[in-house]
Chain A
Amino acid sequence: KNEVEQSPQNLTAQEGEFITINCSYSVGISALHWLQQHPGGGIVSLFMLSSGKKKHGRLIATINIQEKHSSLHITASHPRDSAVYICAVRINDMRFGAGTRLTVKP
């Protein structure tokens, strides 16, 4: 079993829809990251969380340490949000989820 599980694996949405991507992990962590990987491969760090909730523009990330679960929400999704979203947790090193491929159609 992977230490970091993401769902869904693939997600297609219509422009404007509210998007939720989930991440569950099985071990104690010091921090959780949400990353965005664009089709060219470039990676942007969206959030780093250790508790609670963070918001940046249309993106919201939450984490529940007790339940070992985090969610990434995108409000009013747009085609430019199409990317692979990766959850990563910090234990002694970084462990990555398999990613969620999001396609937002106009």
Chain B
Amino acid sequence: GAVVSQHPSRVICKSGTSVKIECRSLDFQATTMFWYRQFPKKSLMLMATSNEGSKATYEQGVEKDKFLINHASLTLSTLTVTSAHPEDSSFYICSARDPGQGFSYNEQFFGPGTRLTVL
């Protein structure tokens, strides 16, 4: 299967700082990438859909000015948590869609996740 990487895997920051998380598709071009967050013992929640070269589409209740998403190339999307607060502490996961996977229009490959802790 296709490989998606995330960096960093863990980050601890002070309240008020901004944190950038990178999501890369390593062996395919991803026209669409997705960002999720997961609270402890909770299910994944889709935050936004990121299409290369256009603005991200945010889910209801997700602050676009708080969670800045940039999909500047077909292999890289970034999520920046601006002015982070302790309640932003969560596990952030990206996934990428590989349109080359046959019928797998809906096939998604997940990154390993980034654990953010805001002190």
Contacts and interface: CB of A to CB of B under 8 A. Distances in A.
Contact of A45 (B1, B42, B45, B105): B1
B67 interface: no
Nearest to B91: A41
Contacts of A78: none
* Chain B contact patch, size range: 20 to 34
Interface residues of A, number: 21
Nearest to A30: B106
Contacts, number: 53
Nearest to A89: B106
Interface in B65-117: 91, 93, 95, 103-110, 112-113, 115
Contacts of A42: 110, 112-113
B112 A45 contact: no
B54 interface: no
A90 B93 contact: no
Given A33-B106, A86-B44, 10 more contacts: A31-B105, A41-B91, A43-B110, A44-B110, A45-B1, A45-B107, A45-B110, A96-B43, A97-B43, A98-B43
Contacts of B46: 93-94, 96
Interface string A15-51: 0000000000000001101010000111111001010
A93 B49 contact: yes
18 contacts: A30-B106, A33-B108, A35-B110, A40-B113, A41-B38, A41-B115, A43-B110, A45-B107, A48-B104, A50-B103, A86-B43, A93-B46, A94-B34, A94-B46, A94-B108, A96-B46, A98-B42, A98-B43
